[in-house]
A = this chain, B = another copy of it.
Amino acid sequence: MIVAGIMSGTSLDGIDVAIVDIAQLSPFRFTLLATHAEPYAAEVREAILGVSDCQAHTADLTRLHVLLGELYADAVERALSANGLGSRLELIGCHGQTIFHQGDTRPYLGRPIAGTLQIGEPSAMAERFGVPVVSDFRPRDMAAGGKGAPLVPFLDSLVFGDAHTPRIALNIGGIANLTAIPAGGKPGELIAFDTGPGNMVMDSLVRRATGGRETFDADGARGRLGRPIEDFVRMELEENPYYAATPPKTAGREQYGDAMVSALESTGRPLEDLLATAALMTARSIAVGVTRFALPYLRTELPGAELFVAGGGRHNGFLMDLLAGELPGLRIEGTERFQLPIDFKEAIAFAALAYATIAGQPGNVPSATGARHAAVLGKVTR
């Protein structure tokens, strides 16, 4: 079955599309046919920011919901036509654009309520391609008591599960998260959690220092020239109770936002030192997650597992070197060997999740989301 997976993340870069031919889920057999990244126009990014987690006009929110569905359809159309796939598409899985997420319940009008809102109306895609569209994957897990995230462990379990070698799938986006999969485990037997910061502290430092002209430290070239402030990293890891907390756990983006960036800047050290510090903090907090939680769960020690990295952080050679230094002997490589280009792993995950839904199979991994039970995720539009 030829399936398009569509992801657009909270970094608001744009729309990632992966077209895969899925032969079966278990064991997972698929062929990656095409990938396509479509950046958001500036006014679309502005409109998303305008409705995200703040006051918004209900009319604007609705129109943006419909417009994003059209843009998703455009992106899929380009991915298909640029790769000669014409009318072969059979199914679409679309994550949508998150504009609000609260994984834990809080009182609202007298009830404990959690909630998540992904926009991007799927009907335009169903109309344009004449295929079913699965969308809005997170609420069903939350109705089963889960946090609605992370959902990518479903793909990690399918792809990285191995009879003999325990494996760790690491994704370094704004926040870094990992999935640890034991050797010879059953499908869905894993732990998954956020390790702490990914790229977001580094990215913020660069944006603020350049007035927004640059948005990231390409390949970590600037950070590599700096000297990290060891005390800053040590104190963060010792004083923030997050790193010692037992998974499953979710790191809040607010932990690595303006307050931390300002604290770094207030040291008066040059940008290169600050970037080196942020990179070290990312590498070391990942290493803490690996050694303190992942390896014990996998019943192994440092050289006994393999680590596969995806996400933007994989492009940062300096960060990768630091990570290797923090995890001596561990085999670390990108996810490409598994037909998962590091920038399209999430899009492929939503293709696989859509396939599961249409096959009537659960897509959430309860040990990752905290759900009481597995559930068939998403909403199907025809």
Contacts and interface: CB of A to CB of B under 8 A. Distances in A.
A109 interface: yes
Interface in A67-119: 67, 69-70, 99-100, 102, 108-109, 111, 113-117
B126 A61 contact: no
A5 interface: no
A225 interface: no
A121 B109 contact: no
A120 B381 CA distance: 17
A54 B56 contact: no
Interface stretch (A10-18, A43-51, A149-157, A340-348): A43-51
Of residues A43, A122, A127, which shows the largest number of chain B Cβ atoms within 10 Å of its Cβ?
A: A127
A186 interface: no
A382 interface: yes
Given A44-B109, A113-B66, A58 B379 contact: no
B114 A143 contact: no
Contacts of A52: 58
Contacts of A58: 51-56, 61, 99-100, 117
A98 to B, nearest CB: 10
Interface string A370-382: 0000011011111
Interface string A314-351: 00000000000000000000000000000000000000
A66 B69 CA distance: 22
A34 interface: no
A125 to B, nearest CB: 8
A379 B117 CA distance: 16
A111 B61 contact: no
A65 interface: yes
Contacts of A67: 108-109, 111, 113
Nearest to A57: B55
A61 B116 CA distance: 10
A139 interface: yes
A59 interface: yes
Q: Which of A53, A61, A123, A144 has the most CB of B within 10 A?
A: A123
A140 interface: yes
A252 interface: no
B376 A115 contact: no
A62 B382 contact: no
8 contacts: A55-B56, A56-B57, A58-B99, A59-B100, A126-B140, A127-B140, A135-B379, A360-B382
Interface of A: 41, 43-44, 47, 51-59, 61-67, 69-70, 99-100, 102, 108-109, 111, 113-117, 121-124, 126-127, 135-136, 139-140, 142-144, 357, 360, 375-376, 378-382
